């Protein structure tokens, strides 16, 4: 029988790409997300690749959500071998303009949900003689950027939590804690982001395919490396932030204004942060086809 793999955030983007990768390897899958329509579509894609799939429409931001997902997976498959923490939401806005409830939900989903998931799954990994937890962090786990402070705070916290948990697990042979750190990835998270900037949001280039992250997730479950970055072109920002922080601050602010938040006006929205937006979902957000600059006639100023 194949591995039992839980993928949170498995309905879209990186999580869906990872689920498809594990499906091709013969895994039995539990896909966890809020959107039942997107979950069903992702599950069908995985089944076409030969996987047995359990779908769990659970919000990982709720206090009991991770435990319910872990319990349901073990009730169906008898164990958990790999837990992929990919559930994530995104928010644009200044510290002053971002509503409290949006900020709090970003933290709940991107940090506290994964912390609760680790606590829920560890007893099952220990009972099964070991297993792997893979957290999907971000380049923003290691650097900062303007107008994305809630996301940055959550991803910084997730990396710190993962490192602390890894140290604790040294006493429990067979349980491994890994982190994958993507830069800008072509997923739907940006279209679905909350936005209180008044501008249209775009991922900072260069944007790479979600399947690259999925490959890294699968590899890290088998390899020796604890932390793996994806999207090397942007990782030049890490040494710049530490070696020349003032230069970095000016650089990242200018980059965000020029390419991350275009001048096309956008109305305030909570996106999919507070409530699920039901649709079939997809791995890609179509960003790889978006040029850095559009002709003036197509921007609306």
Contacts of 31 (CB under 8 A, 6+ apart): 7, 10, 11, 15, 19, 39, 42, 43, 46, 53, 54, 55, 56
CA distance 53 to 83: 14
Model confidence, pTM = 0.93
CA distance 216 to 46: 18
pLDDT score at 292: 58
Beta carbons of 82 and 5 less than 8 angstroms apart: yes
> Which of 63, 8, 270 has its CA nearest to residue 150?
270
Domain boundaries, the chain: 4-292
pLDDT score at 288: 81
Among the options 140, 151, 190, 248, which is catalytic?
Answer: 151
Percent of the chain with pLDDT over 70: 95
**What average pLDDT score do residues 187-202 get?**
97
Instruction: Report the 10 Å Cβ neighbour count for 285.
Output: 21
- What is the chain's length? 301
pLDDT score at 85: 98
**What average pLDDT score do residues 214-239 get?**
89
- Reply yes or no on whether 151 is catalytic: yes
pLDDT score at 43: 98
CA distance 60 to 14: 16
Instruction: Report the 10 Å Cβ neighbour count for 49.
Output: 17
Q: How far, CA to CA in Å, does 19 sit from each of 114, 177, 192, 254? A: 18, 19, 20, 36
Instruction: Report the 10 Å Cβ neighbour count for 135.
Output: 26
pLDDT digits (tens, 9 = 90+) for 77-100: 999 999 999 999 999 999 999 999
pLDDT digits (tens, 9 = 90+) for 28-66: 999 999 999 999 999 999 999 999 999 999 999 999 999
CA distance 67 to 81: 16
Alpha-helical regions (H) of the chain = 13-24, 36-48, 65-77, 100-107, 113-127, 149-168, 210-222, 237-243, 245-255, 296-299
Encoding tokens for residue 266?
């956008």
Encoding tokens for residue 223?
């390899």
Classified by CATH at the fold level, domain 4-292 comes out as Rossmann fold (3.40.50)
pLDDT score at 299: 32
> Which of 192, 197, 216 has its CA nearest to residue 21?
216
Question: Residue 195 belongs to what H/E stretch?
Answer: strand 194-195
pLDDT digits (tens, 9 = 90+) for 1-33: 799 999 999 999 999 999 999 999 999 999 999
CA atoms within 13 A on the CB side of 13: 24
């Amino acid at each position: 029988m194949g591995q039992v793999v839980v993928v949170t955030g498995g309905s879209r983007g990186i999580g869906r790409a990872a689920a498809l990768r594990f499906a091709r390897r013969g895994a039995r899958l539990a896909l966890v997300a809020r959107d039942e329509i997107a979950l069903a579509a992702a599950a069908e894609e995985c089944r076409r690749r030969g996987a047995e799939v359990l779908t769990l429409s659970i919000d990982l931001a709720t206090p009991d959500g991770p435990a319910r997902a872990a319990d349901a997976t073990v009730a169906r498959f008898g164990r958990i071998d790999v837990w992929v923490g990919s559930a994530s939401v995104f928010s644009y806005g200044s510290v002053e303009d971002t509503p409290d409830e949006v900020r709090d939900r970003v933290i709940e989903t991107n940090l506290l949900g994964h912390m609760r998931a680790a606590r829920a799954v560890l007893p099952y990994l220990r009972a099964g003689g070991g297993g792997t937890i893979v957290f999907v962090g971000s380049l923003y786990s290691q650097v900062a950027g303007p107008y994305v402070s809630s996301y940055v705070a959550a991803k910084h916290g997730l990396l710190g939590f993962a490192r602390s948990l890894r140290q604790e697990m040294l006493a429990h042979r067979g349980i491994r804690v890994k982190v994958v750190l993507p830069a800008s990835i072509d997923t739907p998270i940006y279209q679905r982001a909350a936005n209180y900037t008044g501008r249209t949001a775009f991922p900072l280039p260069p944007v790479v395919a979600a399947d690259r992250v999925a490959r890294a997730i699968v590899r890290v479950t088998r390899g020796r490396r604890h932390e793996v970055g994806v999207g090397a072109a942007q990782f030049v920002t890490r040494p710049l932030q530490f070696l020349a922080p003032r230069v970095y601050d000016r650089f990242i602010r200018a980059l965000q204004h020029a390419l991350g938040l275009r001048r096309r006006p956008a109305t305030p929205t909570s996106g999919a942060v507070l409530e699920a937006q039901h649709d079939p979902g997809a791995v890609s957000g179509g960003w790889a086809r978006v040029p850095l600059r559009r002709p003036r006639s197509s921007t609306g100023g």
